[in-house]
A and B are shown apart, each in its own frame.
Chain A
């Protein structure tokens, strides 16, 4: 079974630009969560989608948004990039999700975003 895939793997942008990252979950998984990982803050939850609906959202500004498609693939968008947005963005999928009924999440390799 193929794992979680994320594209692109690396991205370099400049301040003020916007970026879209893509995630394809494991086949059959309906929940997709996004995380930001930085050396100082560790892994921080961005949002979770389940059956095309955002079920939970972390403490990030509105510049961070996402969506999920009917095939469970998900995208996240960051508008008006800031230097502090440089991070590894990780996507994780699980069979179920939402409402606190979490089970194991399986992570993709991440997208390394550098903002200059």
Chain B
């Protein structure tokens, strides 16, 4: 059974304090790993897709990396507007399986 575990559950950072979110997964035949951002009361917003170990993608202050067992979402010099829940999902031979997310709070 495909599984995704995200850690930490919640993270509180000062503005400018860089950190990383972790997504550990087990999947039969990874077809893609996806990162989403979700603001309260809204649908998830697509951020990145990673397909193979070693791949990296960047967007503004965010950088996603992938190994054979986990993915990291690195946040460099975060701003208060980066506060949100970040979701990781994997696609194997079954539909997308989501982790429960990391709630990020960035304090000015």
Interface residues of A (CB under 8 A from B): 4, 33, 35, 42-45, 48, 56, 58, 90, 92, 100-110, 112
Contact = CB atoms under 8 A, between A and B. Distances in A.
Most buried by A among B45, B46, B96: B96
Contacts of A44: 98
Closest 3 CB pairs of A and B: A107-B43, A43-B98, A102-B91
Interface of B: 29, 31-32, 34, 36, 41-46, 49, 87, 89, 91-101
Contacts of B34: 104-105
Most buried by B among A58, A102, A108, A109: A102
B44 A102 contact: no
A100 B29 CA distance: 10
Contact of A103 (B36, B49, B89, B101): B49
A45 B90 CA distance: 12
